[in-house]
Structure 1
Amino acid sequence: MTSLHPTSRHTGRVDPDVADLFDNVFADWHSRRPAPGVVLELDRDLWARLDELGLTDLASADDADVWTVAELLRAAARYAVPLPIAEHDALAGLLATRAGISCGSGIRTIARLDVYGTDRAVPWASQVDRILVLRPSGDTAFDAWQIADIPVSSCRLEAAADLAGRPRDRLTMTASAGVGTLIGADLAREFFLRAALMRAVQATGALDRIIDLCVRHVTERRQFGRPLARFQAVQHLVADAAAESALAHIATDAALTSLASLGRSGESLDELERAVAIARSVLGTASGVVVRNAHQVHGAIGTTLEHPLRGLTQPVLSWRNDYGTTRDWDLRVCQLVPGEGDGAWAALVK
């Protein structure tokens, strides 16, 4: 089977056979997928296939490996897979395991409630079986949270979708659905940072594929008797996009290294927060450049439902504003980086 993702890009931290398994499963699905619609549907057949392979609980397993989870999420993002893999396992599943909550069976997503018991944009809420709900129980975001795993029937939903056409439904808890298990401030903070980082991981996976599509398009497409790649302006567009994508990868991998070292080698939540803030700030800038340049290179065809570019750029723009906007993370970097001048630069590139 021909893969859309060259194995040479594997980080070296994941077994190549495992990385190829992820790629081949999604490539096989991609070759037989139905034509995409305006609003995407959760593919339960593909989910069952992943479940058979043991790929729906990698993050929450006792021997979970951060890099393997990241490779799975990136592979899914490269193929625009319509599944809540991050929400089910890397976010809800892992948090429930850490909190000692016994979860029911089925596909799960996660909701962060406000004081009124509402979350205005819950990923895949209307199409999953259960929801891990979190509600702040203190005065600030990370004082403490109450959490519980509940069936979707315990919530009131209003259908909506994000920029990419993926369900992002408004959820309101019913009075009968109690939220009782308390988690501490450190676990709540770690969860938020992990969630923000997983969105960066997914976005960098999609950026990979976007660059591949750009290179293929400018190589194959001819204008005025020669390939688009021969035009200097087009070369600059693709080169700038590739450079920004590489920067986002480097920053995200640095944050993954910090997450993998959390609790070991003296790595602290403060250091993880700085790494995540830098990764998300870099991603915010990179994604804007890559998306803009990719659509400029492809022209009108890249905006159609049939072309794969649209199904990649729109999730990137959605993910970069999840768990904090680019502006939020830019400001956080300014707050976290100590000193000025050369001292601030040294801290950023450490």
Structure 2
Amino acid sequence: MTVHDSTIKLAASPRADTDLVAMLESLFADYRSKRGEPTATVNFDAVLWQRLDDLGLTRLTGDESRGGSGASWVESSVLLGAAAGAAAPVPLAEHDLLGGWLLEVADLSEGGGLRTVCQPDDGGLARTVPWARSATSIVALWKSDRGWRVADVPAASLSVTQARNLAGEPCDSVRFDICDLEDGADVSDDTAALYRLRGALARCAQAAGGIARVVEIVLAYVDERVQFGRPIGKFQAVQSLVADLAAEAALARAATDAAVARVVTTGWNDPGTPFTIGVAKSCVGHASSVVVRNSHQVLGALGTTLEHELPMLTKSILVHRSDFGSVHEWDTMLTDLSTEAGRDGLWPLITSRSDHPTA
């Protein structure tokens, strides 16, 4: 294998508008060029968030009657991947696909400002809440004695204990007053399961985008780094590492795109949707291990320095691959679904389609 081209274009989800893809590539390439050197801790970028908001991207999938842009998961997956590839410190998934969606399901009004989302326990405590310290409000999905409820609580009225995850990202603990949670709106029992599926698919899109950027960095490095008089990309051992991580990146992208396509064409209630999202979560999770290991092996000590872009991406990929279910949990779920389907039911489970798209 010989590496000829060190540039990878942002991979688009099925039927993604080419103008949107080009705009996002340009926007986040500009962001990377002006971001400055990476740091050990990650903080919310209010300037970038305002720019995204001005473009109608922070509530991309929201209903237009509620101030959203009315886009589908196709467009959203492209946005999430592009932002993750630039390590953009903004809560696009939490604000739009999870928090904004919950408010629509509960028929609650959407106030202005930044929101994040969480699932408090019985005592009203939510741990590892992303971006809580920067949020204007926090949307809580909470199970009471009467069933599931959604509450939109102003952050100023909450107790937030700041913390960070292993990637250095804000990941706080939030204490809710039970009265605030009980004042929320009732939602169906299916909401919690759907919330998990949506969160899992969002993380797949983000990981696929981050992985694509890692591959781009690796390809550029093996062309530029010269050892023993030639680029290291000419050496078979390096080529093997690059081929493996590129194959895993392609698998992660293909599985994610397949899950997005299924959601858009057959909807969340299709019996095959959890299976397809599970496949994506599993493929992305296993791919993350290979991509992170091989990329750091290729770059060596350079890829571990604080000033380099690579560890900022790889740490985030590894930290978030267990969000909304670990790789083991999704692998177990896939095994159970396949076993339950049986010999005659597995193929229909994988390939079933509906005649009524719900994009």
TM-score normalised to structure 2 length: 0.89
Contact 1:4/1:209 (8 A) holds in 2: no
Name the structure 2 match of 1:172.
175
CA distance in 2, matches of 1:121, 1:345: 37
Instruction: Tell me how far apart the structure 1 counterparts of residues 342 and 244 of structure 2 sit (CA, whole Å).
Output: 27
Contact kept in structure 1, 2:7 and 2:220, CA below 8 Å: no
CA distance in 2, matches of 1:154, 1:129: 10
Percent identity (aligned): 41
Q: CA deviation at 1:36?
A: 2.7
Q: What is the SS of the residue equivalent to 1:313?
A: helix
Q: Following the alignment from structure 1 to structure 2, what is the Cα–Cα distance between the partners of residues 145 and 192?
A: 14
Say if 2:96 is the partner of 1:89: yes
Corresponding residue to 2:218 among 211, 214, 217: 214
Number of residue pairs matched by the alignment: 340
Counterpart position of 2:119: 112
Structure possessing the higher relative contact order (Cα contacts under 8 Å, 6 or more residues apart):
2
Task: State the SS of the aligned residue for 2:207.
Answer: helix
For residues 303 and 89 of structure 1, what CA distance do their matches in structure 2 show?
33
For 2:329 and 2:51, locate their aligned partners in 1 and report how far apart those are by CA, in whole Å.
Answer: 38
Task: Report the CA distance between 1:65 and its aligned residue.
Answer: 1.3
1:126 and 2:107 matched: no
Q: How has the CA–CA distance of structure 1 residues 222 and 51 changed in structure 2, closer, same or farther, with 3 Å as cutoff?
A: same
Is 2:13 aligned against 1:6? no
| Structure 1 unaligned regions, length at least 5 | none
Question: Counterpart of 1:311?
Answer: 312
Q: Which residue of 1 aligns with 2:277?
A: 276
Q: 1:289 to 1:343 in 2, by over 3 A?
A: farther
Shift of 1:170: 1.1
- Equivalence for 1:52: 54
Give yes or no for the alignment of 1:160 onto 2:170.
no
Q: Shift of the alpha carbon at 1:5?
A: 5.1
Contact 2:116 2:138 in 1 (8 A): yes
Residue 80 in 1 paired to residue 82 in 2? no
Instruction: Give the Cα separation in 2 of the matches to 1:186 and 1:29.
Output: 39
Q: Distance in 2 between matches of 1:166 and 1:300?
A: 23
Distance change in 2, residues 1:144/1:203 (3 Å): farther
In structure 2, the gaps of 5 or more residues are: 1-5, 65-69, 352-359
Other structure's SS at 1:261 match: helix
Instruction: Report the AA paired with residue 205 of structure 1.
Output: G
Secondary structure in structure 2 of the residue aligned to 1:131: strand
Conserved? CA contact 1:87–1:109, under 8 Å: yes
How big is each residue's C-alpha offset from its partner over 1:16-45, in whole Å with a ceiling of 9 and x where there is no partner?
A: 111111121121121111433222111111
Q: Which amino acid aligns with 1:13?
A: R
Q: 2:14, 2:77 → 1: CA distance?
A: 13
149, 153, 178: which one pairs with 1:150?
153
- Please report how far the alpha carbon of residue 151 of structure 1 lies from its aligned counterpart in structure 2 after TM superposition: 1.1
Q: Distance in 1 between matches of 2:346 and 2:144?
A: 38
What is the CA-CA distance between 1:342 and the residue it aligns to? Answer: 6.9
Show the 5 A alignment for 1:130-141: 130-137=137-144
For residues 239 and 347 of structure 1, do their structure 2 counterparts lie closer, same or farther at Cα, with a shift above 3 Å needed?
farther
Offset at residue 131 of structure 1 (A): 0.6
1:200–1:319 Cα contact (<8 Å) kept: no
**1:341–1:65: structure 2 CA closer, same or farther, 3 Å change rule?**
closer
Matching residue's letter, 2:9: P
Aligned residues of 1:104 and 1:149 also touching (Cα < 8 A): no
Map of 1:101 onto structure 2: 108
Matches of 2:13 and 2:325 in 1, distance apart? 27
Please show how residues 187-206 of structure 1 align to structure 2 within 5 Å: 187-206=191-210
RMSD: 2.2
For residues 249 and 90 of structure 2, what CA distance do their matches in structure 1 show? Answer: 24
Offset at 1:245? 1.1
* CA distance in structure 1 between the aligned counterparts of 2:181 and 2:269, rounded to whole angstroms: 33
Contact kept, 8 Å, 2:296 with 2:303, in 1: the verdict is: yes
CA separation of 1:11 and 1:340: change in aligned 2, threshold 3 A: closer
- How much has 1:177 moved relative to structure 2? 2.8
Aligned letter for 2:274?
E
Instruction: Say whether the 8 Å CA contact 2:142–2:150 is kept in structure 1.
Output: yes
1:216 CA displacement: 0.8
Letter in 1 for 2:276: A
Distance 2:28 2:102 in 1: 26
Distance 2:186 2:346 in 1: 40
Return the TM-score normalized by structure 1. 0.91
Cα distance in structure 2, aligned partners of 1:135 and 1:324:
18
Instruction: Indicate how the Cα distance of structure 1 residues 178 and 98 shifts in structure 2: closer, same or farther if over 3 A, else same.
Output: closer
Contact 1:154 1:177 in 2 (8 A): no
What is the rounded CA distance, in whole Å, between the counterparts of 2:342 and 2:104 in structure 1? 43
Closer, same or farther in 2 for the Cα pair 1:76/1:4, shift >3 Å?
A: farther
Paired position in structure 1 for 2:357: none
Following TM superposition, by how much is the alpha carbon of 1:172 offset from its aligned partner in structure 2, in angstroms?
1.3
* 77-86 or 21-30: bigger deviation: 21-30
> Distance in 2 between the 1:294 and 1:341 partners?
39
Alpha-carbon separation, structure 1, partners of 2:316 and 2:322: 10
